[in-house]
């Protein structure tokens, strides 16, 4: 249910090559932050895209999950090392700063979510 539901929730069309579904690995929940970042083992998308889902109710993402509330679905384009580094820098900052997590969880529409993420950049 996880990735399909997140894909539906975000309403973001991510253009991935067919291997993406086969190449995806288990999501990596970061329990302290209640964040999960499902991604492929290597950059295989046609272009780099990120979908974000802010969940009202925690999502059970497996045995080590304490309730995921923020999901960043990452699709990194082939050869986009700079884009991948930028995404990971953004995620590290969000994970380290509890105040950013709180702001993200309080975002109730795309505009407020975009404003929070734009301030991080």
pLDDT, tens only, 49-85: 888 888 888 887 776 666 788 888 888 888 887 877 8
pLDDT of residue 14: 38
How far apart CA 54 and CA 70 sit, in angstroms, is: 5
pLDDT over 80 (residue 112)? yes
- Give the pLDDT band of residue 38 (cuts 50, 70, 90): confident
Give Cα separations from 51 to 13, 63, 64 (angstroms).
9, 24, 23
Stretch 80-94: mean pLDDT: 83
More confident residue, 41 or 7: 41
What is the spatial distance between Cα 44 and Cα 6, in angstroms, rounded to a whole number? Answer: 19
- Round to whole Å and give the CA distance between 27 and 40: 9
| Domains by residue range for the chain, with CATH | 2-120 (3.40.930.10)
Quote the longest CA-to-CA distance of the chain. Answer: 37
3-state secondary structure of 16: coil
């Amino acid at each position: 249910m996880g990735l399909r539901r997140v894909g539906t929730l975000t309403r973001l069309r991510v253009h991935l090559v067919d291997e993406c579904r086969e190449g995806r690995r288990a999501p990596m929940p970061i329990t302290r932050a209640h964040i999960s970042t499902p991604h492929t083992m290597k950059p295989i998308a046609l272009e780099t895209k990120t979908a974000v889902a802010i969940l009202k109710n925690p999502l059970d993402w497996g045995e080590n999950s304490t309730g995921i509330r923020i999901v960043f679905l990452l699709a990194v384009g082939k050869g986009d090392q700079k884009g991948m580094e930028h995404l990971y820098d953004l995620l590290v900052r969000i994970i380290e700063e509890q105040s950013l997590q709180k702001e993200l969880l309080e975002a109730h529409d795309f505009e407020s979510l975009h404003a929070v993420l734009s301030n991080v950049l």
